[in-house]
Structure formats: C-alpha cells, structure tokens
Amino acid sequence: MGGGNGEDQQNSRRIAAEAYDYENDPRWADYWSNVLIPPHMASRDNVVDHFKRKFYQRYIDPELIVEPMGGDSTASSSANTSNRPRPSSPPDSSSSSSARQRSTGSSGRTQRASTTSPASAASLQWDQQTIQFSVNAWVFFVGLLAILPLTPTSLSNRAYRLSLLGTLCSSLYSLYLLYGKPRAWNLQALQIWLQSVAATKDFIYSIYCITFVTSNLCLKFALIPILCRAAEHVAKFLRRNFSRSNLYRKYLEEACVWVESNTTTLSILSSQAEIGIGFLLIISLFSWQRNVLQPLMYWQLLKLMYNAPATAGYHQSTWTNINRLVDPLIQRYAPFLNSPISMVQRWWFR
C-alpha cells in the first residue's frame, strides 16, 4: 500500500512538473542557458524535458524523483534486429553456421559501437565543461587582480580588459555549443541566428563585454557582473567534479556551497550593478573621457536586459525599487523633470 501511494505521489508530481509554465519563469531561462550539452542534443524534446524536470526538482519540488536520461539502447536494439538475417528457405548446415558467424560479428560490432558512443559523447561533454571552467576560473582570478586596490595601475587596466575578453570568449563558445553557427554567412541567415540567440544570457554578456572592451574608459565597477557569472560557473563545476577531493572539502566546499545556494542574490547584485553602470556612463559624458556612442549602446543593452527572459525578473525588480525611491523626490523637489522622464519611459517601453 505504501509503495502504491508513493508511486501515485510521484505520478502527480511528474504531471505537475510537465504542466509547469517554464517559459514565464526567468529562472528557467537562466538555468537552461547554463546547461552545457552538444547542440544536436539540445534540440531533442526528451533532453529538454529531462532538464525541465531537473529544474523543477531543484527550485519547485525537491521530492520529485528524476530518472536518468535513457541512452541509445532502443536504437541499438533496433539496429541489431535489422541486421539479423532472415532466411527465406531452410538453409543447409554450412550456410547456417556461416550466417550465425556473420550475425555474431555484426551484433558484436553493433554492441561495441553502442558502448563506445556514450563514452565518446561523455568525453566530448567533459572537454566542453573543462574548457568553460578553465576560462571562467581564469576570468575570476584576473578580475580579482583588476579590482584589488594594491595592484599597479598598468597591470590593473590590463587585467580589466583580459577579464572582459575572457568572458566574451566564454559567452561566444557557449552560444556556439547551444545554437551552433549560422547556416550561411549572408544577411538573412545571420538575422535568423541572431533572433534565436538575442534573448539569451550569453548573448547579452557578449554585447556587454564588447561595449566595455572597445572603450577607452576603464570602469572597474563593470567587473561585478563578470565576477558573479564566473563564480557561478566555477562553483558549479567544482561541486560536480571535485566533491570527493580532500583539497576541495578543506578549502573550497564552503565557498562553492554558498555561491550555489545564493545564485539569486548574485543575480540581483549583477542587475543592480548593471543599472548603476548605466548612470555612471551618463555622468562620464561630463568628463574628458566622454564617449557619446557607448552610453547609447549600453542603454539599448539595458533595455534588452529589461525584456529578455533570462534577466527580466531581476532588472524589473530593481527598476521598481528605484522608481519607488526616486519618484517621491522628483515630485517634491524637481517636478520639471516629469516631462523628460515620461519621454524616456515611452522610448523604454516601446
């Protein structure tokens, strides 16, 4: 009776997980953008459903049991069935023995192929994750070096640009793994590819890094979102692959656990820093390092962050808090700003 009730509960949990509205949950877009799988697997419905259940187990219902993804056993069994000879007439003993030998050889080759293909896929995925970890660990180290107050100015500025370039490479590599490259290098194919990746977090960070790495203005405040992103990737990789290491347990486990349990806090901090950078760029227009094009590009990027599913929840919450704090002050001390602010809002929500 207990086992039947437990199975019924799991069935109801699976039904609830399938019915959950993932598209309107900004955490799902953030979670899916950080899943590292080959592009040909990311387009499969069963793979997407599996990670949706993993997401539901992590954020909604921890008691949901998620079974591991099935391999290619069905395909290999069908291949063995199709390779099996079908005699149309009763053969003699010599022909039947040779047929059995050929059948045994073909089935052995099929079994070896079926056992080696998952291993090669796992090694490919391992290599991709290792590359991402190496780049993000390097970005985290170089970014810390850039913001340390005791670092010489020349070294700090160089580390600042190297951390932005490393994040740019990591984001573009992640986009390539998840979405591939454009089918053709013409305007129409590029437009279709950009429409498919424009709302992803990796694309947003790519434009973010390009905006600052091409500017002469060295704004160390811009490294806060970069360091938060790198810390999340590094902590996730270390927990998955080095959880049994004594070195990890002694020195890194507590920090990695804190990072993974406070991803929402880091995302809120990143959104606040990104919005604050927008106002700093406006202030920079009154300095000798002013660059009119960079604030325009960055505020267009902030508009994309406000509407993109991966970042919309955090940015909209931050803007609501800013409006709640600033609006009474404007109404009381500077009502003449209502007209320009309404013009900016019309452009923002357009």
Residues with Cβ within 8 Å of residue 6, at least 6 apart in sequence: none
Res. 80 pLDDT band, cuts 50 70 90: very low
Please report the DSSP string for 51-86 in residue order: HHHHHHHHHT-TT---PPPP-SHHHHHHHHHHHS--
- pLDDT tens figures, 28-41: 877 877 777 766 67
- pLDDT tens figures, 131-142: 899 999 999 999
Please report the DSSP string for 74-120 in residue order: HHHHHHHHHHS---SS---HHHHHHHHHHHHHHHHHHHHHHHHHHHH
The average confidence (pLDDT) of the chain is 81
Q: What angle do CA 253, 131, 119 make, to 5 degrees?
A: 90
Res. 96 pLDDT band, cuts 50 70 90: very low
Predicted local confidence at residue 67, as pLDDT: 81
Predicted local confidence at residue 81, as pLDDT: 39
- pLDDT tens figures, 292-345: 899 999 999 999 999 998 899 999 999 999 999 999 999 899 889 889 899 998
First to last CA, the chain: 58
Residue 215 or residue 99, greater confidence: 215
Across 100-104, 191-195, 245-249, least confident range: 100-104
Q: Rg of the chain over CA atoms, in angstroms? A: 27
- pLDDT tens figures, 54-64: 888 888 888 88
Taking the alpha carbons of 174, 177, 32, 53 in that order, is the dihedral positive or negative? negative
84: pLDDT strictly greater than 70? no
- Taking alpha carbons only, the member of 204, 228, 333, 224 closest to residue 277 is 224
Cα 185 to its chain centre, rounded Å, is 25
Percent of the residues in the chain that have a pLDDT greater than 70, as a whole number: 80
